[in-house]
Structure formats: C-alpha cells, structure tokens
Amino acid sequence: MTFPFGIGKAALAAATLALLIVHPTAAAAEADNTVEEAKQHFKRGVSFYKDGDLDAALAEFNKAYETRPDYRILYNIGQVQAERHDNAAAVKVLRQYLKEGEPGEIADDRRGEVAHTLRDLSKRVGSVTVTANVTDAEVVIDGVSVGAIPLGEPLAVNAGIREFTVRKGGRTAPPRRVTVAGGDALQLEFRLKPEVREEGAPIAETSARPRRTRVWVAYGAAVALGVGAATFGLLARRADKDLDADLGQFPGDRAQVDDDRSRLKTWAAMTDGFAGAALIAAGIGTYFLLAGPSVSDSEGPPRRSAQISLLPSGASVSFSDSF
C-alpha cells in the first residue's frame, strides 16, 4: 500500500517512532498511564493500517490524539483520511498539523511535503460558505454535523453530490442537494421557519387563564358575601336584644315593639340570604377549580353569565359575573 501523492509507509513509521520516543524530562511531567494509553492506541492504529483496515486505524489514531494531544499524530490521521478518500477531512487535519507544529519542530522537508499534499488535495475539495437567518443553527452535511452558525471559515467539502441542511431545536430547513466540484467556492443560505407550537397547546394555555379568573372571582364573592352575612347577623342580634328590652318595659310601646320585630325579621333574612349566597359562590369556585377546560373556553364569545339573586323580605342582594 502506498500513500497518495508520493508519501509512503516510511513516513508513517517515522512518525510512529517520533511519538514513541518520549524525552525522559517530558515523561516525568506527564501521568505515566495517560502516555502509555496513547502509545497503545497509536500502536494499534499502525497495526490496523498495515492490515489495510483504514477505519479502525483512524479510530485508534483519533483516540491516541484525544488521550494525549500531540501534533505529530495529526500527520497520521491526515494520511489515513486521504487514503479513505475523505479529502476534506485530510485537508483540515493536515492544516491543523502545520499550525500546531511550532517553527523548527517540523523538518523543512516534511513541511514542504505536507504543503505539496495540501495543494493536490485542495483540487479535490470545494469551499462552501453556509449562512442562516438564526444563530447557533447546526450545519449538517450528508447527515453529519460539521459545526454551528456562524462558522469561522468556509467549509472544505469533498467533491460530489452533497446534501446540506441546518437545524435548531425542533426546526430543520429543507435539505438542499448541491453538486460540488473541486476548487468550487459556493455560498448557501438557509432560512428556518419560526417555531410553531404543537397543535392544541395554545388552547390549553389560553383556557387555563379564564378558568383561574373564575375561581378567584367566585371565591372573592364568597368572602364578600360571608362578611355581609356576619354584619347582618350582628344587626339581627342587636335587633333581638332591643325587642327583648322593649317587651320588658311596662307599659310597653306597641309601635316600638313592631318596629323591633320588623328590623329583626329583615336582618335575619338578610343574614340567611348572604350566608346562602356565600355557600353557593364557594361551591361555584370549587367547581371551576376542579373542573377541566371546556370546549367553550377555547371558542371565546359568546360567554355564559351566572347570576345569584336573593330577595329576602323585599330587599335584594345580587351577585353576578360572566363565566
């Protein structure tokens, strides 16, 4: 097996040797288990590569870099990606290799070799700039997430027919299939539709509010009517005492006694009426509290009207509200 663009197995072996020979001073500064784990993944990657299992080799090289980031591993990753014909990934990784390698750490011949490889690979990839009408939207190419908008730079995309889309939350833009040729520089703009609530959710949300209002109105009326019943109860008790006092006098005043009886009857009736109305209002409030939203809640007007009228001995007490 030979590397593309004239880079052969000897280069892979040299990179392997460079990783495995760790300077004692550097080794003392790192956790031994982490270094050893990275070495084992790297060795397995080399073994898989020699057996022709490029996917397994790529997985091991990536794990080695994740365990102990070292720019030299990126060289191997880039070469394996190129052999897998994932030219865009190879371009990205090899550029990272040149960027992370400090001046003087990468030999001039190796740097020139990689630069030549990048020029050849660049002919096989296109450059695509992706934008959208929302930020933090995820960019997806051929079902694989490649970043989020805004992207720092154009995406390197393998030549061929590619499917692009962007998504955020539960919204996904209609996918677009684009033919990308080597050296192309394309721009794609996506628009995500505003988020739409699930069907039925607005009805439940709007119907809960008037139901809560009814509960508070009913319980508020019950409290007010209860206060009224207590007030009239005190008046009835006073009228009863006045009646007893007038009946105990001799000679009695018939007109005063009749007036006391009339007042007692009126206040007693008002007390009973207000107390009954308070109980009814409390019952209505409890009903609205426990009952779920009705169909008419979501339909809006016309609205029903509930009214409580009490007519004790010619007096009238009225409680009304719209429900």
User: What's the gap between Cα 278 and its chain centre?
Assistant: 46
Superfamily classification of domain 125-190: Carboxypeptidase-like, regulatory domain (2.60.40.1120)
Q: Provide the β-strand partners of residue 268.
A: none
Domain edges within the chain? 4-122, 125-190, 201-322
Residue from 96, 111, 33 nearest 67 by CA: 33
- Strand-by-strand arrangement of the 185-190 sheet: 155-158, 125-132, 185-190
Q: What is the chain's pLDDT, residue by residue, as a tens digit (323 residues)?
A: 334 443 445 455 445 544 544 444 554 555 678 889 999 999 999 999 999 999 999 999 999 999 999 999 999 999 999 999 999 999 999 999 999 988 788 998 999 999 999 999 989 999 999 999 998 999 999 999 999 999 888 999 999 999 999 999 888 999 999 999 999 999 999 999 887 655 544 444 455 666 678 888 888 888 998 898 899 888 888 888 887 887 777 777 778 878 878 888 898 888 888 888 888 988 887 887 887 555 444 444 445 445 545 454 444 445 444 44
Model pTM?
Answer: 0.52
CB neighbour class for 306 (10 Å; exposed up to 12, middle 13-18, buried from 19): middle
Q: In whole angstroms, what is the distance from residue 80 CA to residue 93 CA?
A: 10
Q: Max CA-CA distance within the chain? A: 136
- Which CATH class for the 4-122 domain? mainly alpha
221, 294 Cβ separation under 8 angstroms: no
